[in-house]
Amino acid sequence: MKQLTLNLKWSVASKSGDVVAKCYTIEDAAAIVAMRGEGTKILFGRKVLWVEGAEEKVAGESYDFVADTCYNRLNDRHQEE
């Protein structure tokens, strides 16, 4: 039997900082953030890339907007290092 290994890079953390989910895609993380609401965060490693309620839009409006924002922030931070 072939073993399936997923690279779950995206974390969703509660307002208090507890990791509540690990996701394969940023869009999946955005959907969970939309359900959990204000204060929920999307992280890549230890980098916080999205905080629900502190952004231009809410995650439920557009998962693609969340993905684009997170990828842009990740790229910006990578270039700074």
Structural domain count of the chain: 1
Assign residue 53 a region (left: φ > 0; alpha: ψ between -120 and 50; beta: otherwise): left
| Residue 4: inside a domain | no
pTM of the model: 0.86
| Residue 2: inside a domain | no
Range of the domain at 35: 10-80
| Residue 3: inside a domain | no
Per-residue pLDDT tens digits of the chain, which is 81 residues long: 555 556 789 999 999 999 999 999 999 999 999 999 999 999 999 999 999 999 999 999 999 999 999 999 999 877 766
| Residue 24: inside a domain | yes
Query: Nearest Cα to 59, choosing from 67, 20, 76, 13?
Result: 67
Distances in Å between the Cα of 73 and the Cα atoms of 3, 25, 47, 76 are 33, 16, 10, 5
| Residue 61: inside a domain | yes
